[in-house]
Amino acid sequence: MRLTSQEVYDKLINEDRILELQGQIKFFLGDVDIIVHQKDVVGNIIQEWLQGWLDKRGIEYAPSENTQMPPDFFLNPDDLTKNLLEVKAFNRNASPGFDIADFRMYEEEIIEKPYMLHVDYLIFGYDMSDDGIVTIKDLWLKKVWQITRRMRDWSINLQVKQNVVHKIRPGVWYSTQRGNYPMFRTMEDFISAIEEAVYQNPKTHNSAASWKRQFLDSYEKHYGERLVIPRWSDIEETYDK
């Protein structure tokens, strides 16, 4: 059986009623078995659980061989450019702490493979009680621009250490509090922010002049559509707090 990302999401919500389920993480070694209470392992376990769920439900997929970049699963094994699914999970009682991708790898990847922009992110917001009971509080299906934002000194939210750019980090897309940076509204605005960050980043600055043209050419070659990408300076204020 082949499903789209949306159909996977709908099946988890409506058929399996995942928001009503409870689980535990158990570990045994020799004659000792325990219930795991460490919350920081839950996210990785949920990602493995989803693969088991796909298998048990008879849903076709091909796993990705590149663990450093999205997606985790190709839901159409015959066409690895469509129905791409990335799984993320985080403690719902805290802000999302996962990485989206390595920035430099990502800005190169979407030129080489522009369809990677259309990866669907299946995001689990989990809770673990004091006695180790795991529940899923929220489940989202989002595109990358719907879960990313700018930051004060950069056009996109990045992990930056000693002025070296590392990972693209998510925003709090579900927050209704005032004073937060809004998520990007369109894919084109997200691309504008990526281009600006390529320019800002000392390690990619020299390639910034040709980055957008290369991306647009690649996207048009694959999709037959020439995107119109705004200049970051024209939209920057739109994404202020």
Over residues 206-234, the pLDDT tens digits come to 888 899 999 999 999 999 999 999 999 99
Q: Hey, what are 66's tokens?
A: 């590149």
Tokens 């839950």 correspond to 42
Q: What is the residue type of 4?
A: T
* Closest C-alpha to 136, from 229, 19, 218: 19
Those residues with Cβ within 8 angstroms of residue 92's Cβ, 6 or more apart along the chain or in another chain: 125, 126, 127, 137, 138
Rounded to 5 degrees, φ, ψ at 73 are: -135, 140
pLDDT over 90 (residue 161)? no
| Distance between CA atoms of residues 49 and 84, nearest Å | 18
3-state secondary structure of 71: coil
| Distance between CA atoms of residues 19 and 23, nearest Å | 11
Domain harbouring 87, CATH code: 3.40.600
3-state secondary structure of 123: strand
Q: What is the residue type of 184?
A: F
Structural domain range at position 115: 5-239
By DSSP bridging, strand 84-91 and strand 158-161 are unpaired
> For residues 138 and 92, is the Cβ–Cβ distance under 8 A?
yes
How long, in residues, is the chain? Answer: 241
Q: Is the dihedral of CA 148, 152, 158, 159 positive or negative?
A: negative
Q: Model confidence over 12-67: pLDDT tens digits?
A: 999 999 999 999 999 999 999 999 999 989 999 999 999 999 999 999 999 998 88
User: E-assigned strands of 105-240?
Assistant: 120-128, 134-142, 158-161, 164-168
Domains: count for the chain: 1
Share of the chain above pLDDT 70, in %: 100
Q: The whole model's pTM is what?
A: 0.95
Q: Is the dihedral of CA 72, 197, 234, 172 positive or negative?
A: positive
Could you say which DSSP state residue 188 is in? H
pLDDT over 90 (residue 163)? no
Confidence band for 164, pLDDT divided at 50, 70 and 90: confident
Q: Residue 162's pLDDT is what?
A: 80
| Distance between CA atoms of residues 177 and 174, nearest Å | 9
